């Protein structure tokens, strides 16, 4: 086989050359940090399962490989043209997948997972990138169907329909963390385009969001009215999380066990941390050390420097996403890039805030770091989609220069 043929085969499996290299490097470093931390957290289980570390490593490598394939596919092959023809089928398939967990066993107070051969899948994770694509596709169709930009309520009618159905299904799953993220992604996608037909709706949405945030602060933060009400509903687990956020030490050996030990681990880290692999909280104190509370272990081992490194890498991705979002004049690209930025930020905000007991714990993973194939597949797919948009923006820029 000639060198040229070998190179062409290798380049086929590589991301587009017009991708933003800063984003690629940040994602790669976050995946590397996540893999090392997941292995470190599972060292604490070797007393009961001696072979767990190689098993976890193989599982994580498989997830990373599947994630790369998803990112590569969206980067190299996704087109709004063919997606718009398959959209109805894709939405129906996702809705069926979202309904299936409702008939599964409850995990952590939610019916959000499907168990298949010892592997758990969370279909609601795929609703996050899909809601962005649906909104962007509405804008793609509007380029040829100008009537969508003239009649009020017509532009995002399909996006609203899909969002409302997804909202109620995820609410029935009682997965409030995922529901909050889906809502913020959808709202950001709706708020980005600047069309006259959208202005009134956008103003009403702003007022609604401000009112909802203010009501939540009053009902759950300043007073205990909201907590007392939901204690007597099927969402009682949320009331427990709100109480743990206010004071995790009231029931250290009960419901406050996880958040209290999370704080103990962070407090004992000092500036430099205890060193990679030297966490003590992973030895049974944090039962979800490789997932929801992985940040506590990471900070215990790497200290402030580890947190600073994470913020830099996440910040680099956010800056580059919004750089291209402001640079392009294509609203569908703005929606994808802005929605991706909100997706990434909300996961970091909810996970880090919950682990540090600054906000009620929601159970959302720390993207690229926490274990879990579904969340990794979803964010990698989204990053591939964002890079697809960036490649198109950069090609148009080069065409203008030529």
pLDDT at 187 over 70: yes
Write phi, then psi, for 269 (nearest 5 degrees).
Answer: -75, -30
pLDDT at 351 over 80: yes
**Per-residue DSSP letters for 101-113?**
GGGS--BTTB---
pLDDT tens digits along 277-305: 788 887 777 777 788 888 988 998 888 89
Are 142 and 149 contacting, i.e. CB atoms less than 8 angstroms apart?
A: yes
Q: Which residue has the higher pLDDT, 148 or 262?
A: 262
Burial class (CB in 10 A: 0-12, 13-18, 19+), 256: buried
Confidence of residue 148 (pLDDT cuts 50, 70, 90): confident
Q: Provide the pLDDT for residue 344.
A: 97
Per-range mean pLDDT, top range of 182-191, 196-205, 225-234, 297-306: 182-191
Q: Provide the pLDDT for residue 318.
A: 97
Q: Provide the pLDDT for residue 241.
A: 84
CA 398 to chain CA centroid, nearest Å? 32
DSSP E strands: which ranges in 29-121? 114-116, 119-121
Q: Provide the pLDDT for residue 282.
A: 78
394 to each of 193, 240, 253, 256, 391, how far by Cα in Å? Answer: 21, 49, 55, 50, 5
pLDDT at 45 over 60: yes
Identify the H or E element spanning 290.
Answer: none
Segment 124-151 shows an average pLDDT of 88
Q: Which residue has the higher pLDDT, 227 or 124?
A: 124
Write phi, then psi, for 346 (nearest 5 degrees).
Answer: -65, -40
Q: Which residue has the higher pLDDT, 44 or 38?
A: 38
Nearest 5°: CA angle at 350, between 345 and 354? 150
Q: At what angle do helices 199-216 and 176-191 cross, to 10 degrees?
A: 150
Q: Provide the pLDDT for residue 340.
A: 97
CA-based R_g, the chain, Å: 22
CA 298 to chain CA centroid, nearest Å? 19
Number of domains in the chain: 1
- Residue 133 located in a structural domain: yes
How does the average pLDDT of the chain come out, rounded? 87
Segment 193-204 shows an average pLDDT of 88
Q: Provide the pLDDT for residue 82.
A: 93
Percent of the chain with pLDDT over 90: 48
Confidence of residue 40 (pLDDT cuts 50, 70, 90): confident
Measured distance CA(385)–CA(388) in Å, rounded: 5
Q: Is the dihedral of CA 219, 223, 229, 235 positive or negative?
A: positive
- Residue 246 located in a structural domain: yes
Give the CB-side neighbour count of residue 180, counting CA atoms within 13 A: 17
Q: Which residues pair with 119 in a beta bridge?
A: 116
Confidence of residue 126 (pLDDT cuts 50, 70, 90): very high
Confidence of residue 2 (pLDDT cuts 50, 70, 90): low
Measured distance CA(108)–CA(334) in Å, rounded: 36
pLDDT tens digits along 66-101: 999 999 999 999 999 999 999 999 999 999 999 999
Q: Is the dihedral of CA 386, 387, 390, 392 positive or negative?
A: negative
Q: Which residues pair with 121 in a beta bridge?
A: 114
* CB under 8 A, 24+ apart: contacts of 81-86: 83/133, 83/137, 84/137, 84/140, 84/141
- Residue 397 located in a structural domain: yes
Segment 47-60 shows an average pLDDT of 82
**Per-residue DSSP letters for 297-324?**
HHHHHHHHHHHHHHHHHHHHHHHHHHHH
- Residue 7 located in a structural domain: no
Confidence of residue 7 (pLDDT cuts 50, 70, 90): low
Q: Which residues contact 82 (CB under 8 A, 6 or more apart)?
A: none
Q: Provide the pLDDT for residue 79.
A: 93
Question: Coil, strand or helix: which one is 276?
Answer: coil
pLDDT at 336 over 80: yes
- The range of the structural domain enclosing residue 94 comes to 19-401
- Residue 8 located in a structural domain: no
Q: Provide the pLDDT for residue 261.
A: 84
Q: Provide the pLDDT for residue 74.
A: 95
- Residue 129 located in a structural domain: yes
Question: Coil, strand or helix: which one is 350?
Answer: helix
Q: Provide the pLDDT for residue 399.
A: 66
- Residue 241 located in a structural domain: yes
- Residue 311 located in a structural domain: yes
338 to each of 71, 79, 125, 259, 331, how far by Cα in Å? Answer: 18, 18, 18, 32, 10
pLDDT at 368 over 70: yes
């Amino acid at each position: 086989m000639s060198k040229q043929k070998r190179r062409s085969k290798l380049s086929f499996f590589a991301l587009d050359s017009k991708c933003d290299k800063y984003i690629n490097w940040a994602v790669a470093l976050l995946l590397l940090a996540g893999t090392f931390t997941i292995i470190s957290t599972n060292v604490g289980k070797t007393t009961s399962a001696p072979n767990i570390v190689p098993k976890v490593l193989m599982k994580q490598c498989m997830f990373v490989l599947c994630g790369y394939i998803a990112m590569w596919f969206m980067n190299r092959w996704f087109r709004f043209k063919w997606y718009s023809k398959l959209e109805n089928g894709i939405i129906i398939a996702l809705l069926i997948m979202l309904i299936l967990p409702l008939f599964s066993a409850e995990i952590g107070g939610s019916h959000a997972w499907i168990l298949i051969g010892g592997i758990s899948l969370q279909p609601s994770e795929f609703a996050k990138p899909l809601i962005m694509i649906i909104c962007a596709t509405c804008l793609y169709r509007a380029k040829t169907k100008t009537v969508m930009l003239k009649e009020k309520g017509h532009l995002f009618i399909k996006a609203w329909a899909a969002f409302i159905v997804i909202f109620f299904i995820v609410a029935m799953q009682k997965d409030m963390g995922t529901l909050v993220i889906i809502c913020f992604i959808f709202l950001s996608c709706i708020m980005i385009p600047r069309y006259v037909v959208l202005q009134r709706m956008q103003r009403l949405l702003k007022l609604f969001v401000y009112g909802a945030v203010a009501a939540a602060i009053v009902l759950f933060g300043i007073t205990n009215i909201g907590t007392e009400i939901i204690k007597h509903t099927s969402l009682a687990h949320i009331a427990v999380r709100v109480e743990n956020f206010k004071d995790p030490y009231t029931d250290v050996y009960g419901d406050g066990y996880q958040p209290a030990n999370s704080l103990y681990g962070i407090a004992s880290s000092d500036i430099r941390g205890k060193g990679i692999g030297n966490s003590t909280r992973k030895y049974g104190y944090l039962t979800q050390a490789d997932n929801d509370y992985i940040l506590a272990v990471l900070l215990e081992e790497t200290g402030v420097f580890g947190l600073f490194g994470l913020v830099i890498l996440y910040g680099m991705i956010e800056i580059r996403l919004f750089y291209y979002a402001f640079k392009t004049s294509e609203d569908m690209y703005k929606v994808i890039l802005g929605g991706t930025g909100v997706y990434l930020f909300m996961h970091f905000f909810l996970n880090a805030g919950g682990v540090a007991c600054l906000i009620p714990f929601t159970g959302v993973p720390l993207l690229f770091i926490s274990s879990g194939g579904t969340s990794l597949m979803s964010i990698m797919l989204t990053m591939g989609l964002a890079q697809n948009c960036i490649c198109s923006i950069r090609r148009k820029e080069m065409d203008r220069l030529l």
